[in-house]
């Protein structure tokens, strides 16, 4: 039932430590009125059943060019080839700032970025927090953002028009737009703000990537090799065969660029 789905979703968020009590109550109240699109169902593999997975948290902002390059490049490779080895959680907030006096958010790359941060939080929510459902849209958006930067005016419309076909199930760009402009979007961005503001150590730039509770700093372009190493450590096992290509390529990875606070 819709009530059961709402309770389950709130529980998932609480397990991630992302919610204060008031935000949880607000989210629960609002979700009952939200349509429930059909989703792709991911079937767990034997590797997922039998081994501990690496926990990867990616803190980003939607129009940072370095986030876009990472999201469409090194992280996309990890998503495509290492999904059996890791769980990925993307937190779209980054260097966004909230002014308590004006009750307004401002973003490093302007209002378009604030809007897209809302959209990506809404997509994460509608996708049941499963990156295999939402990442195709994120990658498509990153490819566009990287290609147009620094000319970001109008980029959100381009992203919604071109990337809508990558959305899961029956979800539409209109659904995301409605969420972004409604109180649900406000609640979701507040959750991402809380997630980001309570990082320990605090982030100083984006992309900011945390692997099993430890930030990997400027080595994030080696994310696949890092995940493979960590998976091997967690499971006391040799890395799977698909890891060999990432170990071989790790020495040739380009220097990381970032968007500082």
Answer for the pair 94, 249: CB distance below 8 angstroms, yes or no: no
Q: What is the mean pLDDT of residues 6-18?
A: 44
Q: What percent of the chain has pLDDT over 70?
A: 80
pLDDT range class, residue 249, cuts 50, 70, 90: confident
The pLDDT value recorded for residue 137 is: 98
Phi-psi region of 169 (alpha: psi -120 to 50; beta: other; left: phi over 0): left
Q: Is the pLDDT of residue 90 over 70?
A: yes
Q: Is the pLDDT of residue 187 over 70?
A: yes
For 53-76, the pLDDT digits (tens) are 999 999 999 999 999 999 999 999
For 221-247, the pLDDT digits (tens) are 999 999 999 999 999 999 999 999 998
DSSP string, the chain: -HHHHHHHHHHHHHHTT---HHHHHHHHHHHTTS-----PPPPPPHHHHHSPPEEEEEEE-TT-HHHHHHHHTHHHHHHHH-TTTEEEEEEE-TT-EEETTTTEEE-TT-HHHHHHHHHHHHHHHHTTT-HHHHHHHHHHHHHHHHHHTT--TTHHHHHHHHHGGGSSTT--HHHHHHHHTSHHHHHHHHHHHHHHHT-SSPP-EESEEEETTEE-GGGGGGHHHHHHHHHHHHHTSPPPGGGHHHHHHGGGPPPP--EE-
In degrees and rounded to multiples of 5, residue 135 shows phi and psi of -65, -35
Q: Is the pLDDT of residue 129 over 80?
A: yes
User: Which residues on adjacent β-strands are paired with residue 92?
Assistant: 60
Pairwise pLDDT comparison (36 vs 157), residue with the higher score: 157
The pLDDT value recorded for residue 27 is: 54
Quick check: helix, strand or coil at residue 120? helix
The pLDDT value recorded for residue 50 is: 80
Pairwise pLDDT comparison (3 vs 156), residue with the higher score: 156
For 151-185, the pLDDT digits (tens) are 999 999 999 999 999 999 999 999 999 999 999 99
């Amino acid at each position: 039932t819709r009530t059961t789905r709402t309770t389950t979703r709130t529980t998932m968020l609480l397990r991630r430590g992302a919610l204060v009590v008031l935000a949880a109550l607000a989210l629960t109240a609002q979700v009952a009125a939200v349509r429930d699109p059909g989703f792709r169902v991911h079937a767990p593999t034997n590797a997922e059943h039998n081994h501990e997975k690496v926990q990867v948290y990616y803190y980003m902002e939607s129009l940072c060019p370095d986030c876009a390059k990472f999201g469409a490049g090194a992280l996309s490779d990890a998503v495509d080839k290492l999904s059996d080895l890791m769980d990925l959680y993307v937190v779209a907030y980054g260097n966004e700032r909230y002014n308590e006096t004006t009750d307004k958010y401002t973003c490093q790359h302007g209002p378009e970025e604030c809007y897209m941060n809302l959209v990506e939080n809404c997509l994460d929510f509608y996708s049941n927090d499963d990156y295999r459902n939402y990442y195709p849209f994120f990658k498509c958006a990153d490819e566009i953002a990287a290609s147009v930067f620094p000319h970001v005016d109008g980029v959100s419309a381009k992203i919604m028009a071109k990337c809508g076909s990558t959305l899961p199930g029956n979800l539409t760009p209109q659904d995301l737009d409605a969420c972004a402009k409604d109180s649900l979007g406000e609640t979701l961005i507040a959750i991402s703000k809380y997630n980001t503001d309570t990082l320990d150590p605090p982030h100083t730039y984006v992309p900011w990537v945390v692997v099993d509770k430890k930030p990997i700093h400027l080595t994030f372009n080696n994310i696949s090799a890092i995940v493979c190493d960590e998976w091997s450590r967690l499971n006391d096992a040799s890395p799977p065969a698909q890891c060999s290509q990432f170990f071989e390529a790790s020495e040739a990875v380009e220097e990381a660029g970032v968007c500082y606070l």
